[in-house]
Amino acid sequence: MQKIVVDRAGSYERLRLQTLASPEPGAGEVRVRVAAIGVNYADCIVRMGLYSSAKVYVGWPITPGFEVSGVVDAIGEGADPDLLGAKVVALTRFGGYASELVVPVHQVFRIPPELTLVEAAALPSVLLTAYFALFELAHPRPGATILVHSAAGGVGSSLVQLAKIAKCRVIGVVGGAHKVAAVQALGADGVIDKSSEPLWAAAERRSPGGYDIVCDANGVETLSASYDHLAPTGKLLIYGFHTMLPREGGRAKWLQLALAYLRTPRFNPLDLTQKNRSVMGFNLSYLFDRADILGEGMTRILDWVSRGEVVCPKITTYALADVADAHRALESAQTVGKLVLTTEHLDEGGAPA
């Protein structure tokens, strides 16, 4: 099998392709012959050595990757024999950048016939992040107004779609004119291109009374203003800190990180209660012990996909060996939709699931 291994923190050169023996599934596990692998910004942070759960659960060396699709080619004791040969999408807490992967059976889900293997690999992390934010934390009421930062990205585009399923009014924020149409096509009620108009003045025009929910993975660049633009009973959802991290060079810039940390807002509990506001944060990689939440979320997501209520984001593919190019592109903040790595097994499993 082939596998990307990062032996220590660094830039793109730390992503090294290795050939290793095939893993064997244990009790309650299956092995997936991987065809496609979703790429997430979190993978870049893992490579830089800044992802806290990577240190807690793995350490060095580490293989990034939270989601794969492919065909089950071996099963362990206790696993459903009907899964053998099935086309599946699988969740994994790291280890996904590989041509073969062993995972617990409860983290494997059959792919709806409407999806290709590449499309299936693009969905779990971004949609589960959006699902947990909206349906486990925010619980939006129909008609709520939601502001989504980075609305053209993987999580942002997922938030737009799930918010529309929840019958909410959605305003998306993008960083360039080339991203506006993609967010409009997802059903956003308005799109703010912050490269061509002042973000917060535009946000105020679109919702003068504030926002019921603001979804923010930017970090220090927008967190204070996002909080200030909440309506009474509004909720600020935090699931990342992208603007604290480098957009070129691929290495952590410690002075930039330190300054951003010092500028990061601290939310006063007295202010929260007097203004009836909430601040919520989460990291999906710490939720793998909650099989109930992940399983329910994936079941609902795949049902929405099969009924056409959620569409796959625009996908750009890279070969597994070209993972450094994928990371470089993702860190540039110029991508739209989702990046996916493909292996030599894609042709074996076929494109359509």
Question: What is the domain partition of the chain in residue ranges?
Answer: 2-123+312-349, 126-285
Q: What is the pTM of this model?
A: 0.93
Share of the chain above pLDDT 70, in %: 98
Mean pLDDT of 309-324: 95
Question: What is the structure's pLDDT at 251?
Answer: 82
Mean pLDDT of 65-77: 97
Considering only CA atoms, which of 126, 65, 70, 56 is closest in space to residue 94? 65
Query: What is the four-CA torsion angle of 30, 39, 239, 264, rounded to 10 degrees?
Result: 140
DSSP one-letter code for 84: T
Residues 317, 149: Cα–Cα separation, whole Å:
24
Question: What is the structure's pLDDT at 116?
Answer: 95
Question: What is the structure's pLDDT at 259?
Answer: 85
89 versus 263: which is more confidently predicted? 89
**Taking each helix axis from N to C terminus, what angle separates 124-131 and 291-306, rounded to the nearest 10 degrees?**
110
pLDDT bin (cut points 50, 70, 90) of residue 316 is very high
Statement: residue 56 has pLDDT above 90: yes
pLDDT bin (cut points 50, 70, 90) of residue 348 is low
Share of the chain above pLDDT 90, in %: 87
Question: What is the structure's pLDDT at 272?
Answer: 94
Statement: residue 253 has pLDDT above 90: no
Superfamily holding 2-123+312-349: Medium-chain alcohol dehydrogenases, catalytic domain (3.90.180.10)
Q: What does the mean pLDDT of the chain come to?
A: 94
Question: What is the structure's pLDDT at 196?
Answer: 96
317 versus 260: which is more confidently predicted? 317
Question: What is the structure's pLDDT at 238?
Answer: 97
Identify the residue whose tokens are 């204070």: 224
125 versus 154: which is more confidently predicted? 125
Question: What is the structure's pLDDT at 347?
Answer: 74
Residue 247 neighbours by CB distance under 10 Å: 12
Considering only CA atoms, which of 109, 142, 68 is closest in space to residue 301? 109
Mean pLDDT of 154-174: 97
Mean pLDDT of 246-254: 76
Pick the CATH number of 126-285 from 3.40.50.10490, 3.20.20.140, 3.40.50.720, 3.40.50.300: 3.40.50.720
3-state secondary structure of 318: strand
Question: What is the structure's pLDDT at 352?
Answer: 42
